[in-house]
Amino acid sequence: MAKRTKTNGPHSSGLILCERVLQDLVNRDAVTCVNIFNGLSAQSFPMLMPVAYAFAQVTGASGPFEYEYKIVDGDGNIVALSQKSRVDPQPGTDETTSHKVISAFNGLGFEKEGLYAVILEIDGVEAAELPLKVTRIMPQVVSGQASGRA
């Protein structure tokens, strides 16, 4: 798969994975990303996240484009794939216009710990990549709770 540069078509300057994306009802260009993940951790595997959102801002588009996100494991195997979505820029926009591209992953599962990657593809070309470390954590026992006493 080819990687896009900032000089040859739509590209992203950043990509995040978060718990929720909220869009302002009045100013549709304003969004809030809630609980941005630097990595994920679980006490056991496989682990399941009910929902996660991938978010990026894309510039450099001179016309319509399609995008999709995918999450791959360390061997390049696809763990999750978003639906392909199409962006039709509004009249009067140009390559400097920023487009917000958002996709949800429902029931996102990871079979084991390791290094994964969230990848944004625009028109079939990789435009951004976010490393995502998934780790196992040991359960913590709070003093006094192990015996059932408060």
Give percent above pLDDT 90 in the chain: 69
pLDDT, tens digit, 9 for 90 and up, residues 42-81: 999 999 999 999 999 999 988 999 999 999 999 999 999 9
Residue 16's CB is within 10 A of a number of other CB atoms, namely 17
pLDDT digits (tens, 9 = 90+) for 111-141: 999 999 999 999 999 999 999 999 999 887 7
Tokens of 9: 């078509």
Q: Which fold has domain 11-136?
A: Immunoglobulin-like (2.60.40)
Q: Pick the closest to residue 105 from 37, 58, 38, 52 (CA basis).
A: 52
The C-alpha atoms of residue 128 and residue 63 are separated, in whole angstroms, by: 19
What is the value of pTM for the model shown? 0.84
Domain boundary assignment for the chain: 11-136
Outline where the chain has alpha helix (H).
none
pLDDT tens for each residue of 1-35:
555 555 577 888 789 999 999 989 998 889 999 99
Q: What end-to-end distance do the CA atoms of the chain give, in Å? A: 56
Edge-to-edge, what's the strand order for the sheet holding 31-36? 31-36, 11-23, 47-59, 99-110
Asked whether 6 and 128 are in contact (CB, 8 A), the reply is no
